[in-house]
């Protein structure tokens, strides 16, 4: 059993994951529940996730989320979803109840409503912090937001099932309908029950062009450790860019042995737990670095 999450604000989700895994619950239920609690917390919205997230340039919060099991074909996602503070729960329903894998905009909202989700007014999706930031954006015509984005969470349960989930309210003050890497399989997340799983965070418009999560899992399939795979994918992207600096990207990975890895082009705190540890720990990667201590 093991779990890993992106950024420092993932700690509550990883702690919830730890307790649920120790209680014998399956990885998918764990990921959905742990992520939804963070999504619905207005205080974590400033990290660009769920309720309290930053709106698009018209002032409307639009969320993206996805969940993927290691079993073939088990994937569900929503994008540009309005009015629902726990988009990961809707993504789970897409995976379980829809003949489709990705629903967007009005279609995603209608699907959620049909299954009993209540669409809230946009004002309920904003926080005082993000409302103020939006007003400053309108007045100055530029974004001054700093912080992190995308909650990524991977869980490996006692039976060896592995599931990964991602959730974000997207780039602050983005164009309406803009979708980044997060809800796209292979880009923001990927899982294979014979190998492991990976998730990405950072500049989604750039990340989606490189399918890094799929690449990480494929390298683990070929024998690389999670750390080696994350480092190799980051190095490959930097090589292909052919520049001195890389866009913002952080990668986390977990294999079916319970080994954790990460790499990033920026300072990147992440949290993790695995069986035998008494509590969740946090590690911080420096710019363009990879943690080599946990395999």
Residues with a known catalytic role:
150
Whole-number Å distance between alpha carbons of 153 and 130: 24
Task: Tell me which H or E stretch contains 238.
Answer: helix 226-241
Angle (CA) 4 171 165, round 5°: 30
Annotated binding residue 181: yes
Whole-number Å distance between alpha carbons of 218 and 160: 18
Annotated binding residue 53: no
Q: How far is CA 165 from the centre of its chain?
A: 6
Computed from CA positions of residues 167, 173, 176, 178, in that sequence, does the dihedral angle turn out positive or negative? negative
Whole-number Å distance between alpha carbons of 94 and 103: 8
Annotated binding residue 179: yes
Q: How far is CA 89 from the centre of its chain?
A: 13
Annotated binding residue 180: yes
Whole-number Å distance between alpha carbons of 119 and 160: 36
How many of the other CB atoms lie within 10 Å of CB of 138?
A: 11
Question: Binding site for substrate: residue ranges?
Answer: 178-181, 201-204
Query: Residues comprising the binding site?
Result: 178-181, 201-204
């Amino acid at each position: 059993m093991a779990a890993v999450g992106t950024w420092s604000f993932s700690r509550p989700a990883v702690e919830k994951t730890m307790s649920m895994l120790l209680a014998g619950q399956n990885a998918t239920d764990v990921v959905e529940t742990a992520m939804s609690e963070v999504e619905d917390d207005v205080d974590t919205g400033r990290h660009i996730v769920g309720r309290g997230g930053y709106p698009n340039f018209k002032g409307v919060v639009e969320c993206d989320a996805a969940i993927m099991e290691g079993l073939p074909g088990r994937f569900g996602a929503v994008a540009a979803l309005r009015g629902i503070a726990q988009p990961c729960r809707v993504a789970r329903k897409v995976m379980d109840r829809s003949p489709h894998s990705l629903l967007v905009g009005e279609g995603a909202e209608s699907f959620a409503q049909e299954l009993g989700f209540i669409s809230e007014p946009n004002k309920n999706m904003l926080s005082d912090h993000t409302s103020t930031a939006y007003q400053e954006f309108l007045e100055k015509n530029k974004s001054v937001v700093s912080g992190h984005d995308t909650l990524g969470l991977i869980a490996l349960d006692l039976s060896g099932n592995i599931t990964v989930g991602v959730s974000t309210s997207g780039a602050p003050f983005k164009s309406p309908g803009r979708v980044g890497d997060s809800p796209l399989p292979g880009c923001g997340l990927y899982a294979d029950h014979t190998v492991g799983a990976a998730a990405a965070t950072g500049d989604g418009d750039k990340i989606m062009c490189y399918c890094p999560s799929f690449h990480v899992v494929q390298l683990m399939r070929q024998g690389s450790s999670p750390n080696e795979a994350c480092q190799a994918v980051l190095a490959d992207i930097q090589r292909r860019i052919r520049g001195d600096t890389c866009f913002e990207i952080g990668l986390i990975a977990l294999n079916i042995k319970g080994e954790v890895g990460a790499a990033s082009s920026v300072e990147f705190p992440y949290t993790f737990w695995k069986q035998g540890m008494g509590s969740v720990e946090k590690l911080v990667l420096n710019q363009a670095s990879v943690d080599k201590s946990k395999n």
